[in-house]
Structures are given as C-alpha cells and as structure tokens.
Amino acid sequence: MVAEDDTKQAELVRRYLEHEGHTVTVVEDGRAALEEVRRRAPDLLVLDVMMPRADGLDVVRILRAERREMPVLMLTARSTEDDLLLGLDLGADDYMTKPFSPRELVARVRTLLRRNRHAAGPAPTAAPAPAAAHAAEDEVLTVGTLRVDPARHEVWVESAQVVCTPGEFRILAAMAAEPDRVFTRQRLLEELHGFDKYISRRTVDVHVMHLRKKIERAPRRPDRLLTVFGVGYKLTDPARNARHASS
C-alpha cells in the first residue's frame, strides 16, 4: 500500500511497483491509511510523512501500538537527523528523503519484503537466517535470561515479553547471535540496512538507549548491554559475569 497525498508522486511509485509485479493500493491521507491497513493487511506500507488527517508519524505510531508488523518505508521532504531518528524510533523500517530514485525505492521494497518473510508466520520452516541473526531461523538466541526468537520476532527477559521496534530487534538479534562480541557502531549500522544517507552513527546510540530501557533492570547502570568505550557495544550475561568476578 502507498499512502501519499501528492497524486503525481503516488502514481509514479505505483507504476514502478506494479512493474515489479506488486499489487498496489493508493490512499491519500493518514486516516485512510489506517483504515486500509486494518482492512487489507498489506505486506508493506510506503508512507509519506506530511499528509492530511493524520501525518505519517502518527500513522506508524498507531500501527506499531496495534502490533501490526508489516514493514514501513517512510517518505519525507524533511532531511534533518532528528526527523529521521524519530521515524525510526516510532517503528519505521526504512526512510527515504525526497526527491528519491523510484528504482532505489523498488530495491528497498524488495529488501524489506525479503527480510520480513523470515519473521512471518506462526510456524515457519527452516531457512537461511536473516542477516541480523546469523543463525538458523528456528533457533532461539539466548544470552542469560534474555531470549530472542528471530522466527517469531519476539524478545523475552526472564518471563516478560519485550516489544521492540524493527530496528531495535535487528540490533539485538545480531548481538544475541554472538554474545560478548564487541560490535562497532558501523557494524550495527550495517544491520540497519539501507537507511537514508542522512542517518549517522547516532542512530545506533538511540536504539541502544531505548533497548536498555526495555531489557535492563537499571538502564543508567546497564549490566547486560554494555558500552565498550571507544569501540562500540556488546551483549553479555550479567549473572555469568558476576560469578566470574566472585571466583
């Protein structure tokens, strides 16, 4: 589905996506986007930020609150880093600033759909892992009391389920697949595939900050998602570290 109030822009995107073989529905405002997503459950949403009757940021905020997990590719004329970070923080999977190449948009849609297939369905069959996880699709990644399930796109800390945005999940899955490995910000940015050229390494810091609020008992004194000063971050088992420190 394409939600874009500029009819010429929407028609251009529709033509390119249909040429790629997709069936495309176009709506012209945010409220219509919400109604159509609830009614049609599209595989992917191309979402303009500046729209009447609810802007794109409100739309993605509501959809993620409703636990609708289809990939969202946001389009905007804004190009400041704060705007881009806000869109990602609300749950957008990718971001393109106008003007953009329709061919690049099609390529990003293809990538998002391919990645989303790995996490779709209640009982997926074995398949190559998403790039973020580096593990079998049906393997649950465990680091102490933290569990990451790539197939079901679920995160648990002890007995509590944690809701992560797509970007947060990719970072956490990559680190959970290789506990105690130090990941540079650049390496984690690679897990956040295909983001707009305006995105910087600060994106990773924002995701880590929000992840700590969700998986740490004391986010300001993390013992699970650690900073390795001058290098990056690593995910570790605090209970194991405590045992080693006392031995």
Average pLDDT, the chain: 82
| Residues whose CB is less than 8 angstroms from the CB of residue 189 and which lie 6 or more positions away in sequence, other chains included | 195, 199, 201, 203, 204
Amino acid identity of residue 99, one-letter, is P
CA 30/CA 48 separation, integer angstroms: 9
Amino acid identity of residue 62, one-letter, is I
pLDDT in tens, 42-84: 999 999 988 999 888 899 989 988 988 888 998 887 655 566 6
Inform me whether the pLDDT recorded for 126 exceeds 60. no
Q: Where are the beta strands (DSSP E) in the chain?
A: 2-3, 26-27, 45-48, 72-76, 94-97, 141-143, 146-149, 154-157, 160-162, 183-184, 225-228, 232-235
The pLDDT-based confidence of 177 (bands split at 50, 70, 90) is very high
pLDDT in tens, 89-106: 777 888 888 888 888 899
Query: How buried is residue 176: exposed, middle or buried, by Cβ count under 10 Å (0-12/13-18/19+)?
Result: buried
pLDDT in tens, 181-216: 999 988 888 776 555 444 556 778 888 988 999 999
pLDDT in tens, 9-51: 999 999 999 999 999 999 999 999 999 999 999 999 999 988 9
The class (CATH top level) of 141-246 is mainly alpha
CA 172/CA 67 separation, integer angstroms: 19
Strand partners, 27: 3
Parse the chain into domains and list their residue ranges: 2-117, 141-246
Range in 24-33, 131-140, 236-245 with the lowest mean pLDDT: 131-140
Q: Which residue has the higher pLDDT, 195 or 222?
A: 222
pLDDT at 165: 76
Q: Which residue has the higher pLDDT, 131 or 50?
A: 50
CA 8/CA 13 separation, integer angstroms: 9
Tell me the two tokens of residue 47. Answer: 């979402």
pLDDT at 244: 66
For tokens 């779709």, the residue is 120
Strand partners, 140: none
Q: Is CATH 3.40.640.10 correct for 2-117?
A: no
